[in-house]
Amino acid sequence: MIRAVGLRKRFGDFEAVRGIDVDVRRGESFGFLGPNGAGKSSTMRMVAAVSPVTEGELRILGMDPATDGPAIRARIGVCPQDDTVDTELSVRENLYIYGRYFGLPRKEVRARVDELLEFVQLTEKANAVVDDLSGGMKRRLTIARSLVNRPEILLLDEPTTGLDPQARHVVWERLFALKQQGVTLVLTTHYMDEAEQLTDRLVVMDKGLIVAEGSPLSLIAEHSTREVAELRFPVPPEGGSHAPMAAQVEDLADRVEVLPDRLLLYTDDGEECVAKVHERGLEPAATLVRRSSLEDVFLRLTGRTLVD
């Protein structure tokens, strides 16, 4: 569905995407995971055929965005990072006008709009003005709009950024339903839980490069331990650090990461590791044992956390 080889994007002297290879297959849900500024949006805009490729090869549905932009745009859906729906129009009008852009006949657009309102659970809000919708409803409207032309590929740039947990779950559930219908999903996110929930396969991006690729589970298995014990020690609020504590426990885990507010001990048995910490007479103010996540993979590969 999408193939990129050595893809680059430069803005003047600055290179936002520095030569990436990507292959997205039909029907899969593919993710770009990385922190702000990693180059995810720049990549998505090239894939959406709205931003020219600086260098490298890019094919969308077998077509070249440089020469086949309109044909590509007719077959994909784009859900941008900020909701760009018209706030003065009603929910229904937004979808209707967009459908007409695609040159669909009036009757067909009306039927399609009803179907989409139902799909994103906005039928009851059909006549509401967009300004009066919650953030989650606006996002669902943007998703509905991107589906007007029955796209084969749906591109979503940070689909749940800024939404509360409940609204995020509704969006995830609708995206999952689309995947079930056979739509290929390509999304960017800086939320590791979103990547874990929604993607079959993902690339981890950092500073314009891909640093790892695989399924969420395979990435975790490859780059992290089964569990993580998080320890918070009482440290002085001014200039205090967890680094001295790390030295006292580093032999208890496969790896130790020092964050500003806690230590992460990577181990296959978190409870046992915490017990050994206590046996040493050390007394963390709080402990938490959890499974490894994509956040741990990112930390391992880049030395930084996904969200600053």
Ligand X SMILES: Nc1ncnc2c1ncn2[C@@H]1O[C@H](COP(=O)(O)OP(=O)(O)OP(=O)(O)O)[C@@H](O)[C@H]1O
- Nearer of residues 36 and 84 to ligand X, judged by Cβ: 36
- Nearer of residues 16 and 187 to ligand X, judged by Cβ: 16
The answer to whether residue 34 forms part of the interface with ligand X (CB under 6 A) is yes
SS3 161: coil
The answer to whether residue 16 forms part of the interface with ligand X (CB under 6 A) is yes
The answer to whether residue 31 forms part of the interface with ligand X (CB under 6 A) is no
Element (H, E) at 23: strand 14-24
- Nearer of residues 11 and 176 to ligand X, judged by Cβ: 11
How far is residue 113 CA from its own chain's centroid? 27
Of 5, 6, 11, 271, which one interacts with ligand X (CB under 6 A)? Answer: 11
Q: Which two tokens stand for residue 118?
A: 């139902």
Taking the C-alpha atoms of residue 93 and residue 41, their distance in angstroms, rounded to an integer, is 28
What is the closest distance, in whole angstroms, from the C-beta atom of residue 209 to ligand X in the complex? Answer: 12
Strand-pair category, 201-206 with 209-214: antiparallel
- Nearer of residues 46 and 60 to ligand X, judged by Cβ: 46
The answer to whether residue 38 forms part of the interface with ligand X (CB under 6 A) is yes
The piece of 9-17, 167-175, 216-224, 250-258 that touches ligand X (CB under 6 A) is 9-17
Angle between helix 135-146 and 91-101 (nearest 10)? 20
269: Cα within 13 Å, side-chain hemisphere = 6
What is the closest distance, in whole angstroms, from the C-beta atom of residue 89 to ligand X in the complex? Answer: 27
The answer to whether residue 40 forms part of the interface with ligand X (CB under 6 A) is yes
Of 20, 30, 31, 41, which one interacts with ligand X (CB under 6 A)? Answer: 41
Q: For residue 103, which amino acid is it?
A: G
Judge contact between 231 and 287, C-beta under 8 A: yes
Q: What b/e readout covers 148-165, taking b as 16+ CB neighbours within 10 angstroms?
A: bbebbbbbbbbbbbebee
The piece of 20-28, 32-40, 163-171, 235-243 that touches ligand X (CB under 6 A) is 32-40
* Residue ranges in contact with ligand X by CB under 6 A: 11, 14, 16, 34, 36-42
